[in-house]
Each structure stands twice: as C-alpha cells, then as structure tokens.
C-alpha cells in the first residue's frame, strides 16, 4: 500500500514540473523590458571608437585641386628702382618736348653737332647733336635776359647779340666771352663767317663789323 502511494507522488510531481515549464513558456514578455541589441559586433566597435573633430569634411563632388589652381596669386611687387626706370622711360618724350618748348633761341652749327639753347636763366650747350647738355660758362643770367639773336657759322663757334650793344662769342663751344660793344644800341641780328669775323645789326638799321672777334668794330654803310 505504501509503495503505491509513493509511485503516485512521483507521478504527481512530474506532472507539476511539466505544468510549471508550460506556464513559464507561455508567460508574455513585459512591454517595458529592453529589446536585445541586434547590431553586429563591428557596428558596436565603430560606435565606441573616438571620433576626430575639428576637420571639416570636403563638400560632395568638390574638386580641391581645381579650387587651389583657381585661387588668384598676388602679383610680384615692383621694386622702387624699377618703377623709377619705367616712369622715366614713359615720361621721356614728354619731358624732352617740354624742355624744347621752354628753350629760347635754339642754335645749331651747320653740321648739327654743336647746339645751344637758353632754358630759364641758363645757357646750355651740346656737342653731340643734342643728346647730352652741359651748362655754358662765362655768361650771366642778366646777360641771357638781354639776348635777342644769335648764329653759329661752324662747329663750336657761336655769336649772341642783344640789348645795350651786348655781344657774346665762343670758339670752343662752351665758354663765352663778352666783347666790346659796337654801340649802346639794341642789336637784333648777327651774321658771322667764323669765330673772328662777324657783322651785327641794330633795330634802327645801323650795322658794325669786326675781324678780330669783337675787340674792335667798324661801322658798315
């Protein structure tokens, strides 16, 4: 009788265990229970890796090489000596023309090598056809202000005449000498053969001639 009860108890226990397992399997999962993360291990590792910040990503389709090539480059600065040289070259003809306009009583020898001109209060002389100019000697600004006419019969020879019987002569092209006046008259013209023989004329029609570079004068009828 005892053996049968024990067998029944064992069977009862087996049925209870099976009932508990079915109940546990049928129990619904609570709604607030977190879902399992199905992301692959690689995605988890990438998300956990530190991200580099501060470097902007290039825009989609941007051509950085073309942008660098299209950036305007600054022009090289022109040095001061180069600017000065360029300005003098470009302004050369204008300056030369201005000097020519300001020059008074330009004279030239028959071959054109010797030249003279009055610029302001100075008398300038050139021995190379006007390429370079040097100041003349032996003449004052006051005398230049009185000059009215001049001539050059040969290279390096020039005669100048003016108010008050003024006569100036040079035979080396640069140094002038004031001669004795033929008369205290307004001289307006001069004709010369060389550095020694010349005839000067006054505004009233009178004329004088010299054969010794102006040391003495003789009236001409």
28-78 residue pLDDT tens: 444 444 444 444 444 444 444 445 444 444 444 444 443 444 455 555 555
Q: Is 157 contained in some domain? A: yes
91-129 residue pLDDT tens: 333 333 334 446 888 999 999 999 999 999 999 999 999
> What percentage of the chain has pLDDT greater than the value 90?
52
Domain tally, the chain: 1
- Edge-first strand listing for the sheet containing 198-202: 187-192, 198-202, 207-210, 218-220
- Tell me if 167 sits within 8 A of 161, measured CB to CB: yes
* CATH code assigned at 220: 2.40.10
Q: Is 180 contained in some domain? A: yes
DSSP 8-class letter at 20: H
Question: Alpha carbon 76 to chain centroid distance?
Answer: 11
pTM higher than the cut 0.75: no
pLDDT of 203 reads 97
Q: Is 114 contained in some domain? A: no
Tokens at residue 201, please? 């004329």
pLDDT of 81 reads 47
Q: How confident is the model at residue 12 (pLDDT cuts 50, 70, 90)?
A: very low
User: Cα–Cα distance between 85 and 165 in angstroms, integer?
Assistant: 47
pLDDT of 103 reads 82
Q: Is 186 contained in some domain? A: yes
Q: Is 126 contained in some domain? A: no
Could you give the residue ranges of the DSSP H alpha helices within the chain?
2-26, 41-48, 64-70, 80-102, 141-146
Please check the confidence at residue 202 and state whether its pLDDT lies above 50.
yes
Q: Is 125 contained in some domain? A: no
* Structural domain containing residue 210: 136-221
């Amino acid at each position: 009788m005892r053996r049968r009860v024990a067998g029944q108890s064992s069977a009862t226990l087996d049925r209870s265990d099976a009932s508990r397992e079915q109940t546990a399997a049928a129990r619904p999962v609570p709604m607030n229970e977190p879902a399992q993360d199905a992301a692959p291990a690689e995605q988890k590792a990438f998300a956990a890796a530190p991200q580099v910040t501060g470097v902007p990503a290039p825009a989609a389709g941007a051509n950085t090489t073309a942008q660098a090539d299209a950036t305007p480059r600054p022009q090289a600065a022109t040095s001061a000596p180069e600017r000065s040289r360029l300005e003098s070259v470009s302004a050369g003809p204008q300056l030369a023309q201005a000097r020519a306009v300001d020059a008074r009583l330009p004279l030239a020898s028959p071959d054109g090598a010797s030249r003279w001109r009055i610029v302001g209060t100075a008398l300038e002389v050139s021995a190379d056809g006007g390429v370079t100019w040097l100041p003349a000697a032996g003449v004052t600004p006051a005398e230049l202000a009185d000059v009215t006419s001049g001539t050059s019969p040969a290279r390096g020879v020039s005669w100048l005449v003016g108010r008050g019987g003024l006569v100036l002569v040079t035979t080396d092209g640069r140094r002038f000498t004031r001669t004795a006046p033929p008369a205290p008259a307004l001289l307006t013209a001069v004709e010369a053969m060389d550095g020694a023989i010349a005839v000067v004329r006054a505004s009233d029609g009178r004329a004088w001639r010299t054969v010794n570079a102006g040391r003495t004068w003789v009236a001409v009828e």
